[in-house]
Amino acid sequence: MAQSGKRPPLWITVAFDFHSSPTLRKILLYSLIAGLYTGFLDYLENYVLHVDFKPPSVVFTLMGTVLGLLLVFRTNTAYDRWWSGRILLSDLMNSNRAMAIKLNAYLTALDTINRKFFAHMMSNHAFAMKENLRQGIHWDEIEEVDAEILQRLKKCYHVPNEIITIVNERITELYRAGLFTDPQVLELTKHTDNASNVNGSCERIRTSPVPFSYNVHLKKFMIFFAVICPFGFIHELNYWSVLIVMLIVYALAGLDAIGEEIEDPFGQDENDLPIDKICKQNRSSLNTILKL
């Protein structure tokens, strides 16, 4: 017997979680509209028109197959974008940690100025990249830079790239001062190059949505299927067809809505990537590794 106060299984919690997700509420609205439409058709057929229009079952089979293929492509494409974004963020965090580990070995324990500079600037790059993907920079997240650097960042067009430029300039400056050797500079610039590449790849995902014409075609086909679907049930199931059509529309519209929600993984919606949390973890890791 279950203990009192025990947390319910996750699938039960999710199954009845309609109030907290705008996407689920939108899908539910579509299902209710389809149910009302089906009930209206059933009333007209049984009590007014008596047309007895019933398309052959092969029509629903073919349309369902085509619609399924379209939705699978839509959902897979969106999830691939979401997962690619997650891989890129992990790559950036791992590269930053590796760079911090090398800097910890290259810099003396007493060189707190350069340790703070690299820790702050690389974590600033992650925060700047995050907000750049959201079309804006939160300057309160940019950590402890001097007034000259901050003014330079505010004047530039692309803040993440400017931060990497400033980091590379400091690496060059320390190399000329004899604090870094040639192999060490090569190792460090691998990580700054990787940070720039990750930023560019994330921007590619952000600025290359699923083609508009594909979305339009899919939604038109879904509407047409929802319009004709009730005719396959109302003659045999009567008002029970309302529930059947609502479930069908809920499943199809749900897949399409999920694809729309995750195709841009860098936003602030419920199902987007937790970039804010990842950036904070990155900042904490860099400070810890460089002993700040």
DSSP codes, the chain = -PPTTPPPPHHHHHHT--TT-HHHHHHHHHHHHHHHHHHHHHHHIIIII-------HHHHHHHHHHHHHHHHHHHHHHHHHHHHHHHHHHHHHHHHHHHHHHHHHHS-TT-HHHHHHHHHHHHHHHHHHHHHHTT---GGGS-S--HHHHHHHHHSS-HHHHHHHHHHHHHHHHHHTTSS-HHHHHHHHHHHHHHHHHHHHHHHHHH-PSPHHHHHHHHHHHHHHHHHGGGGTHHHHTTHHHHHHHHHHHHHHHHHHHHHHHSSTTSSSTTS--HHHHHHHHHHHHHHHTT-
Domain range for 116: 85-208
> Is 113 within the bounds of a domain?
yes
**What pLDDT, on a 0 to 100 scale, did the predictor assign at position 169?**
93
**What pLDDT, on a 0 to 100 scale, did the predictor assign at position 242?**
86
**What pLDDT, on a 0 to 100 scale, did the predictor assign at position 153?**
86
> Is 77 within the bounds of a domain?
no
Q: Where is pLDDT greater, at 16 or 201?
A: 201
> Is 147 within the bounds of a domain?
yes
> Is 52 within the bounds of a domain?
no
> Is 175 within the bounds of a domain?
yes
Q: What is the CA radius of gyration of the chain?
A: 27
Q: What is the mean pLDDT of residues 113-129?
A: 92
Q: What is the mean pLDDT of residues 259-282?
A: 86
The pTM of this model reads 0.80
**What pLDDT, on a 0 to 100 scale, did the predictor assign at position 15?**
60
> Is 20 within the bounds of a domain?
no
> Is 1 within the bounds of a domain?
no
Q: What CATH number has the domain bearing residue 197?
A: 1.20.1440
Residue 59 pLDDT class (50, 70, 90 cuts): confident
Q: What is the mean pLDDT of residues 230-239?
A: 79
> Is 26 within the bounds of a domain?
no
Average confidence score pLDDT of the chain: 85
Q: What total number of domains does the chain contain?
A: 1
Q: What is the mean pLDDT of residues 257-267?
A: 85
